[in-house]
């Protein structure tokens, strides 16, 4: 083992009191965080000493300590004891909420004004990231779980807890009245599946969005790769004839091992590279030929919407040319080799929609948008959030505009969204 790694392994063993354990496996992984920084992580599996000959490719023995540590800062990212069984004496003294908060501050160097308690149950605490009590997006969370004797069973830090210099602090001034026009624009008809009736029902619902506190501009509520990190293409895919299907789906290795020299040199992840015009053109041609092979009858049905890098691949996202207002829209994601642009694998979400293929479609719209909005207006929510603005590279104060209700497009009934989607 590389001496630098061995030093970190020895440090880990001492810090986490792993005297009753031996190191079974270790590897280095990397990822890109919210701030477009490459983070290198040493991942270790420590087996109990009394399990020296345990061999199972799928399961670790009870009591195994799975540890992840930031290679450069030595910050512990997670400790998980398999089966909630530990053979260490790593504990939190007098474990109440205040003691847990102090312990987290000590172990992570994250100030307590950057997180707050979200959930507490027997010997388990869940904290979420915040700035002086205001939620942030993308969010972070810290989880701690102890056994009855106060020994650590689980500790995990996920996401971001921003430093003060990244935050534009200001007073929240948005009100429901100040965003009413924007709220109206966010209302649209969506089709929801009603499982008991085996039918699609139409309802007016709101697409949640962030509104900046000062300029009242919108920032998308992103799921997955943020819009700011996507390379937009928006190109319709058409062809005259199909091709023989020679696509072979390859197994994707999401945990590519990184060498110690690469990690200690702190080399930027290839996922941080922009996608050049030439690469965009190669992606487009590859995706088009892929469609001609796998979906030869779908000419004109799909748009290559955008590209992005992740897991050291280029992902091409295809959306329907004509959106169907379903709450679950069909999408294709084609994963490409970043050097050869060969198709490695793909995901087709239409397989999920097959469970609804026999559902009756309800097309009656008896209620207009204005009437629906009047019924929803009293249920509008505007909640303060600090949102990371990728253009400014700062957290800016926003209001999250949302509504937990919808209006049945046929009856006009106001329904709680959770009840509607059950």
* Distance between CA atoms of residues 168 and 397, nearest Å: 7
What is the mean predicted confidence (pLDDT) over 181-200? 87
pLDDT digits (tens, 9 = 90+) for 375-394: 999 999 999 999 999 889 99
Q: Which two tokens stand for residue 21?
A: 């354990």
* Distance between CA atoms of residues 398 and 179, nearest Å: 12
pLDDT at site 349: 86
Q: Is residue 421 pLDDT above 70, yes or no?
A: no
**Counting beta carbons within 10 angstroms of the beta carbon of residue 200, is it exposed (0 to 12), middle (13 to 18) or buried (19 or more)?**
buried
Q: Which two tokens stand for residue 396?
A: 């800016």
pLDDT at site 422: 58
Average per-residue pLDDT in the chain? Answer: 91
Give me the residue spans of the domains in the chain.
3-165, 168-251+258-422
- The beta-carbon contacts of 224-227 under 8 Å, at least 24 apart in sequence, are 225/308, 225/310, 225/315, 226/138, 226/390
What is the mean predicted confidence (pLDDT) over 195-214? 88
Which residues, in sequence order, are CB contacts of 227 under 8 Å at separation 6+?
Answer: 220
Enter the pTM of the model: 0.86
Q: Is residue 330 pLDDT above 60, yes or no?
A: yes
- Which residues sit opposite 134 in a β-bridge? 131
pLDDT at site 95: 77
Share of the chain above pLDDT 70, in %: 98
* Distance between CA atoms of residues 212 and 244, nearest Å: 50
Q: Which of 62-66, 103-107, 219-223, 414-418 has the lowest mean pLDDT?
A: 219-223
pLDDT digits (tens, 9 = 90+) for 289-301: 999 999 999 999 9
Share of the chain above pLDDT 90, in %: 71
């Amino acid at each position: 083992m590389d001496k630098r790694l061995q030093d970190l392994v020895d440090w880990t063993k001492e810090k986490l009191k792993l005297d009753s354990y031996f190191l079974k496996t270790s590897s280095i992984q990397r990822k890109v965080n919210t701030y477009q920084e490459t983070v290198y992580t040493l991942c270790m599996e420590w087996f109990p000493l009394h399990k020296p000959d345990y061999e199972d490719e799928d399961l670790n023995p009870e009591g195994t300590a799975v540890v992840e540590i930031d290679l450069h800062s030595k910050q512990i990212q997670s400790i998980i004891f398999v089966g909630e069984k530990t053979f260490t004496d790593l504990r939190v003294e007098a474990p109440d909420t205040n003691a847990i908060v102090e312990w987290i501050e000590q172990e992570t160097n994250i100030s307590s004004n950057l997180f707050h308690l979200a959930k507490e149950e027997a010997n388990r605490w869940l904290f979420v990231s915040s700035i002086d009590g205001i939620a942030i997006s993308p969010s972070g969370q810290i989880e701690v779980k102890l056994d009855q004797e106060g020994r650590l069973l689980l500790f995990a830090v996920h996401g971001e807890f921003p430093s003060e210099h990244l935050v534009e602090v200001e007073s929240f001034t948005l009100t429901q009245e100040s965003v009413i026009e924007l709220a109206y624009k966010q209302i649209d008809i969506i089709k929801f599946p009603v499982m008991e009736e085996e039918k699609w029902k139409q309802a007016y619902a709101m697409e949640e969005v962030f509104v900046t506190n000062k300029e009242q501009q919108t920032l998308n509520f992103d799921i997955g790769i943020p819009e700011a990190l996507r390379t937009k293409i928006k190109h319709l895919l058409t062809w005259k004839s199909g091709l023989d299907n020679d696509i072979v789906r390859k197994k994707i290795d999401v945990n590519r091992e990184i060498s110690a020299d690469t990690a200690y040199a702190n080399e930027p992840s290839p996922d941080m590279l922009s996608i050049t015009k030439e690469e965009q053109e190669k992606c487009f041609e590859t995706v088009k030929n892929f469609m001609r092979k796998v979906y030869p009858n779908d000419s004109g049905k799909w748009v290559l919407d955008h590209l992005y890098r992740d897991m050291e691949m280029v992902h091409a996202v295809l959306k329907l040319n004509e959106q169907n207002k379903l709450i679950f829209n069909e999408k294709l994601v084609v994963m490409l080799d970043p050097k050869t642009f060969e198709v490695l694998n793909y995901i087709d979400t239409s397989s999920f929609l097959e469970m609804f293929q026999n559902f009756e479609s309800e097309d009656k719209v008896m209620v207009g948008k204005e009437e629906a909005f009047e019924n929803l207006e009293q249920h509008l929510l505007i909640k303060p959030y600090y949102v990371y603005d990728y253009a400014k590279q700062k957290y800016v104060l926003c209001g999250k505009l949302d509504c937990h209700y919808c209006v049945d497009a046929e009856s006009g009934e106001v329904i709680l969204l959770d009840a509607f989607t059950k």
